[in-house]
Amino acid sequence: MLDDIRERFNEAGRLFDFRQEQLAQSNTHMLREAILHSGVIYFVLLVLKFISHLYRIPWTDAIMVPVYIFFFNQRSRLADAELSFKQVRLYSFVFFLCFLTGISVIDLFPVSDTPKVALFPIFLLIFSVYYMDRFSVIAAFEGVYVLVYELLAVFSGQFNEARLYTGVVPYIVSFAIYWSVLGIYTEERRDNRVLEEKSSKDGLTGLLNKVSAEEEMRHYMSHRKEGSACAMIMLDFDNFKHVNDAYGHKIGDDALRKFGEILRRNFRTSDILGRMGGDEFMVLAREPVSEDFLIKQLNSVLMELATARFGDAKGFTCSIGVAIDPQGYSFERLYQVCDDALYEAKARGKAQYIIWSTKHIVPQTNRIIYISSPVKEHREAVKKICGSDYIFIEGKTATESFNDISLYGEKLEAIYFDFDQPGITVSQIREYMNSRPLYTTVPVHDIKLELYEHKDQAGA
C-alpha cells in the first residue's frame, strides 16, 4: 500500500512538473463545468425556496444572484482564453472563494421562516472533484474556505459543535475524493505515457524517433535558463550503404541496434538521444556539459563501434559533429552549426569528431571580412590590401575558421582563406567548402594567390 501511495504521488509530481500546459487546459474546462453545474444546483434550490416562500426570494439568496451572473459571463470567455496553469489556479481559487462565501452566508444567516440547511459541504466537495492541483495547494485552498465558513459562523452567533463538524468533516472527506480523482489522473497519465513511448520510440534502436527527439530538444532549448550550456551532437554511420550491400540488411540492422546501445551507455539518462532516420543519430547533452566530458564520451563511442563485430562485418566507424552552445541559440540555428561541423568531420576523412562552439555575434553595420591563416603576416597583409573600411575577423586554424564562418554566415562580405593549413589537406578544405552552400554565396579568395597578385601589381 505504501508503494502504491508513493508511486501515485511520484506520478502526480511528474504530472504537475511536466504537463502543466495540459493540466491548465483540463482545469480550465473543469472550471467552466463547475461554474455551470454549481449554478444549476443553486438555481434549482433557489426555485424551490421561491415557491416555498410564497414567491419571495430571501435576501441571503438574492445577493448570490449577481455574483453568479458575473462568473457565468466569465465562463464564456474562458472557452477562448489560453490561460497558464497559475492563472487558472488563481481564477479557480477566486471563483470558489466567492461562491462558497455566498453559500456560507445562506447557511449561516437564514431568514426566520427558512429551513436550516447546510449547502457549504456540498459545494466544498464539488471543488475537490472539479479542480486538480498539488495536494498542498488543495489543502491550503480548502483550508481557507473552511476558515471563512467558521469565522462567519462565529460572526452570526451560530458557531457550535455541529457547525464545526459541518466545516471540518467535508474538509477531511475531500482528501479522500482528491485521492480518488488523483488516481484517475495518474492512471490515465500512465496509460498515455505507455502509448506515447510506443509512438515516440524508434522500433529498431529503442531511441526516440526523429519527430519526438526534435520535439524534446526544442522544448528543452526554449525553456533552459539563460547562460546554461548544452551540446548538440550529430552522428552519421560511415559507409553504411556498403555495409548493407556487402553483408545484408540484417547485419546493417544489427549494427544500427548496437549503435543505439553504445549511445545509451555513453550518455546520461538526462540527455536526449534520437535516431533521425537511416544511419543518422543525434544527441542533445544537457547541462552540465563540457568539452572534456564530450571528448571522453565520443572517444568511447568511436572505440566501441570500431570493436563491434557481426559475423564477418567489423571495423565500423562514424563521423561526428558537435556544437557546444552557451549562448542560447534556437534549435534550428544550432542544428545548422552542428550540421556544418559534421561535414567538416566527413571532409577530413570520416571516423572522427569535430567540436565547435557558438559565440555571441554582435550585429555590425560595417562590412565584415573573414581571414583564415596560421601565418600572422599573411593576415596583416590581407588587412592592408582590403583597407580600413571593413571589420576583420581572424582565424588561425581551419576548424576555428569553419566554425566562425558558420556562425557569421551571410553577414560576411568576403572570405580570405589560406589553403595551406596544418592537419588538413587542400582537397579536404575544398571538399568541405563545396559541401556547404554558404561558400557559393560569399566570395572566397585564396590568400596566397591574392598576395602574389598584389605583389606582382605593386612590382609592375
Report the candidate in 71, 350, 357 with the shortest Cα–Cα distance to residue 231: 357
Burial of 82 per CB tally in 10 Å (0-12, 13-18, 19+): exposed
To the nearest 10 degrees (0 to 180), the angle between helices 135-156 and 161-200 is 160
CA distance 440 to 429: 14
What b/e sequence results for 108-135 when a residue is b if at least 16 CB atoms lie within 10 Å of its CB, and e otherwise?
Answer: bbbeeeeeeebbbbebbbbbbbbbbbbe
371 CB-contact burial (10 Å; exposed 0-12 / middle 13-18 / buried 19+): buried
Query: Which residue type, as a one-letter code, is found at position 281?
Result: F
Enumerate the active-site residues: 279
d(C-alpha 71, C-alpha 66), whole Å: 9
C-alpha cell at 213: 527527439
In single-letter form, the type of residue at position 271 comes to D
Please report where in the chains the cell 477562448 appears, as a residue.
Answer: 80
CA torsion, points 439, 440, 442, 447, in degrees to nearest 10?
60
What is the rounded distance in angstroms from the CA atom of residue 99 to the CA atom of residue 140? 17
